[in-house]
Amino acid sequence: MPVKLEKRQQQIDIREAFNIWDVLNSKYIAVERLLTWDNLAHDLDLKHVINKALKSLEKNIATLEKLAAQYAVKTPDRNRSNVVFSGAQQLTTDEFIAMDLFLYYQSHIENLSRVLRSSVTNDSIRSVIKNMALKTIDETDTLVKYLKTKGWLSTPPLYKHIPLETSESLGVADAANLWDHLTLRYDNIRTTEYFISIAHDLDFKSILKMGLSHLQNQAKILEAEHRRYGIPLPKKPARVTLTLTNTEVLEDDYMYRILVNALQGAAIMHAQFYKESVICERIRAIFKDFLKDELGLIDQFLKFGKLKGWLNPVPAYGP
């Protein structure tokens, strides 16, 4: 590792300092919320879900507190260690508690996705956030299955044009999200093809080609789901992309930063679609895989940009 880059791994920037504080604060609040719900919950299965979530949160808190101490980041006030409501078990219902937990997980996935993208300087901090995001995605999946078993998930309107040979139901949100996602991927493919035609750096061009293959594979998956559920396909981009004659119209570092922002936008979209997919397990699994892939791609793409010196250095937090 170059000396300058190695030195940057030993420090954090101002955004990463806030990210540590912000995520830690959200974990503290979540713990106090769950301690409250644990006192008010009746269902033994729900209590098990809550206690499992508390253990996961405590592990995350310990990790974040260690990072805060390592980089001298001020920490927020901690949560109460115990919350007791004597004789107040009738104040709320198990269904409300479970759905509140579900909403927390949904918003936390989006928050961690944002934090991952904005943690640029220190790779180890970004790795911690990425692992937390991946774990939260899996925990959300487990919670959705529990909510379905209990019959507590509300059913949104269903898509009404499913072919007779398809047995699964599909929500209108799933259908709309599949269509939105495919149109996005078509635009991504078109943009990537243009960038390949004018990129100068051979490493960058190679990564663009791998990214194009990844986008094309995702588009094929989405097209298959459109046909499976009878969703009209959007217009595809032209099969042949003309090569631009003036290859100096865009610099490699500028194209790279455009793609970094595009990856972050795609991750937020994946998280939103994953959050809204509560009816069809098949579609939910697809968006879950897409989201996990995107978070990994963001991490690797940021590392590549740092090696090339294409990322604008964020102001340092410490001396």
Domain match, 19 and 146 both: yes
For 169-208, give one letter per residue: b (16+ CB within 10 A) or e.
Answer: ebbebbbebbbebbebbbebbebbbbbbebbebeebeebb
316 belongs to a structural domain: no
Is 205 a member of any domain?
A: yes
In-domain check, residue 246: yes
- CA separation for the pair 268, 37 (Å, rounded): 29
Same domain, 199 and 86: no
Residue 244 pLDDT: 65
User: What pLDDT score was predicted for residue 79?
Assistant: 67
**Domain check: are 7 and 146 in the same one?**
yes
Domain count, the chain: 2
Give the Cα separation of 287 and 285 in Å (integer).
6
The span from the CA of 274 to the CA of 287, in Å, is 5
CATH of the domain at 219: 1.20.1260.10
184 and 258 both lie in a single domain: yes
Whether residue 235 sits in one domain with residue 125? no
Q: Are residues 126 and 28 in the same domain?
A: yes
Going by the DSSP 8-state scheme, the letter that residue 260 receives in this structure is: H
Does residue 314 belong to any structural domain of this protein?
no
Tens digits of residue pLDDT in 218-269: 999 999 999 999 999 998 887 656 666 666 778 999 999 999 999 988 888 8
Whole-number pLDDT of residue 3: 43
Which structure tokens are listed for 97?
Answer: 């508690």
Q: What is the rounded distance in angstroms from the CA atom of residue 295 to the CA atom of residue 194?
A: 24
User: Do both 131 and 198 map to the same domain?
Assistant: no
Q: For residue 144, which phi and psi values (nearest 5 degrees)?
A: -60, -45
> What's the mean pLDDT in 62-77?
95
Same domain as 143, residue 239: no
Interatomic CA distance for residues 233 and 226, integer angstroms? 7
Burial class (CB in 10 A: 0-12, 13-18, 19+), 314: middle
- If you count them, how many residues does the chain have? 319
In whole angstroms, how far apart are CA 20 and each of 75, 108, 145, 149, 187?
A: 8, 14, 31, 36, 34
DSSP state of 240: S
pLDDT the model gives residue 5: 47
User: Does residue 19 share a domain with residue 63?
Assistant: yes
217 and 124 share one domain? no
Give the span between the Cα atoms of 24 and 29, in whole angstroms: 9
pLDDT of residue 68: 96
Residue 209 lies in a domain: yes
pTM, two decimal places: 0.86
Q: Are residues 120 and 209 in the same domain?
A: no
Within the chain, where are the H helices? 3-9, 14-40, 44-70, 94-118, 123-150, 172-198, 202-229, 252-276, 281-308
Cβ atoms within 10 Å of 233's Cβ, excluding its own: 13
The alpha carbon of residue 175 and the mean position of all alpha carbons in its chain are separated, in whole angstroms, by: 20
Range of the domain at 210: 172-308
Residues 127 and 179 in one domain: no
